[in-house]
């Protein structure tokens, strides 16, 4: 018998189970009608469920509310079929006005975190699509905006949806409108395609054809599933994906929410997913009442008794703690990186200042050497003039007059004593500085 835990008496084992689910690598979710009760949609088997409501209203036609969802009973007479269409229209309006609940949002968070492998639902309300999940719908055409291939679909409705109506004769599908207007196509109406074909034949003088009625695209009891092969292919794909795991940490998880597991197809689904890789897959069943007995021993690992929404809230709180720790680690790591980068950038600033000062000193030494050379030339010219006597003195006076008559011009720049280079390489202890001054020397 699976180990049973209670959400009302938390302990170390329950805390560890929540931690293991929160760090799961891949998650498959199987849901039932219990997750939509808080959204305003009744379940089927509870004391206030849909079966009891139908029995109270139509006890003279059916002995149990389940009979109205049994294909062998519903279409036995026109009266029971009309009651079925009436309740389907009522349920369609309830589904159209409902909004996703906490469990639907939890599944959407799994998809956003990248850990949701698939969500299988027995519900026909279509709230998974409203929650933002991509839903596989075999009745949508490839060109439609709502068409999603099964390979990329996040949610698979096991029993169909209330989104479409299908003809029982020609299988043509139409959108199931919840609006009670005359132009809308409703459950129980005659198929427009069948009517068109019959009218064309009558116009040609031929006999008319039978016309089928439209029914919701949901699977009833005691009838074959029209898309069972496609669903079996999806389940086999996901079971293989779970079976390819070799590492036990972190585990893959199969979560079963809000179902009594009384439908044979759902039982087979849970068994196949749970036994695909028992060593690396953790199977957890969460429901208000205990369901799993000895027959589930070795298949379901834990049976948690409590509200499904409370369970999802605890896992979400665990995600929040893990996210805060991850953000703190990233912030600390980025802060250390910024500090090391700033310290490494502080040293080159001193070198730049030194680089900027060195060419100035070189230019000053060049100017001093040029002035020294000009002074030596003037002294040598004065010496030559004094050695020639009067002629030298007259020449000196003549030169002074010429200087006074001509405007003053700046003295010419003398050539440096050392060879002129176009680039100056100054070797320092740490690096080399290249100066591209027009007047520079090589040290």
Omega before residue 113 within 30° of 0, cis: no
Tokens found for residue 234: 């999806």
Taken as a whole, the chain contains a residue count of: 443
Are 20 and 234 contacting, i.e. CB atoms less than 8 angstroms apart? no
Question: Is residue 159 annotated as part of the catalytic site, yes or no?
Answer: yes
Distance of alpha carbon 247 from alpha carbon 373, whole angstroms: 86
Are 442 and 425 contacting, i.e. CB atoms less than 8 angstroms apart? yes
Residue 315 CB neighbours (<10 A)? 19
Distance of alpha carbon 371 from alpha carbon 398, whole angstroms: 25
Distance of alpha carbon 13 from alpha carbon 5, whole angstroms: 8
Are 291 and 260 contacting, i.e. CB atoms less than 8 angstroms apart? yes
Provide the sign of the torsion angle of the four alpha carbons 342, 346, 349, 351, taken in this order: negative
Task: Choose the catalytic residue: 90, 159, 175, 372.
Answer: 159
Are 137 and 148 contacting, i.e. CB atoms less than 8 angstroms apart? yes
Are 222 and 71 contacting, i.e. CB atoms less than 8 angstroms apart? yes
Are 261 and 283 contacting, i.e. CB atoms less than 8 angstroms apart? no
Active site residues: 159
């Amino acid at each position: 018998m699976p180990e049973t835990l209670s959400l009302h008496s938390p302990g170390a084992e329950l805390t560890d189970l929540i931690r293991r689910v929160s760090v799961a690598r891949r998650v498959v979710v199987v849901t039932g009608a219990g997750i939509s009760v808080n959204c305003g949609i009744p379940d089927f088997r509870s004391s206030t469920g849909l079966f009891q409501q139908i029995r109270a209203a139509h006890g003279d036609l059916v002995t149990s509310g389940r009979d109205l969802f049994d294909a062998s009973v519903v279409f036995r007479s026109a009266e029971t079929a009309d009651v079925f269409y009436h309740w389907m229209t009522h349920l369609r309006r309830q589904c159209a006005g409902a909004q996703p609940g906490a469990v639907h949002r939890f599944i959407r968070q799994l998809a956003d975190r990248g850990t949701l492998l698939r969500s299988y639902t027995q519900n026909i309300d279509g709230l998974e699509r409203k929650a933002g999940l991509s839903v596989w719908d075999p009745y949508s055409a490839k060109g439609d905006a709502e068409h999603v291939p099964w390979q990329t679909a996040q949610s698979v409705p096991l029993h169909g949806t209330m989104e479409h109506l299908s003809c029982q004769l020609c299988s043509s599908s139409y959108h199931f409108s919840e609006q009670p207007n005359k132009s809308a196509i409703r459950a129980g109406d005659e198929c427009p395609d069948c009517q068109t074909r019959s009218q064309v034949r009558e116009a040609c003088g031929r006999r008319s054809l039978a016309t089928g009625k439209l029914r919701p695209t949901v699977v009833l009891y005691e009838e074959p599933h029209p898309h069972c092969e496609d669903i079996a292919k999806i389940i086999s794909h996901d079971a293989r994906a779970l079976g390819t795991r070799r590492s036990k940490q972190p585990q893959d998880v199969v979560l079963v929410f809000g179902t009594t597991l009384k439908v044979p197809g759902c039982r087979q689904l849970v068994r196949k997913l749970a036994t695909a890789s028992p060593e690396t897959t953790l199977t957890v069943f969460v429901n208000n009442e205990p369901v799993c007995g000895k027959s589930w021993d070795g298949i379901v690992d834990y049976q948690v008794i409590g509200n499904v929404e409370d369970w999802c809230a605890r896992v979400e709180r665990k995600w929040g703690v893990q996210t805060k720790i991850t953000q703190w680690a990233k912030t600390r790591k980025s802060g250390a990186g910024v500090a090391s980068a700033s310290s490494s950038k502080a040293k080159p600033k001193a070198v730049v200042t030194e680089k900027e000062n060195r060419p100035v000193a070189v230019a000053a030494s060049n100017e001093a050497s040029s002035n020294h050379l000009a002074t030596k030339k003037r002294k040598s010219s004065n010496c030559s003039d004094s050695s020639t006597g009067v002629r030298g003195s007259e020449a000196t006076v003549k030169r002074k007059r010429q200087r006074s008559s001509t405007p003053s011009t700046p003295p010419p720049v003398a050539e440096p004593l050392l060879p002129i280079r176009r680039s100056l390489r100054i070797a320092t202890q740490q690096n080399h500085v290249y100066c591209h001054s027009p007047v520079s020397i090589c040290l």
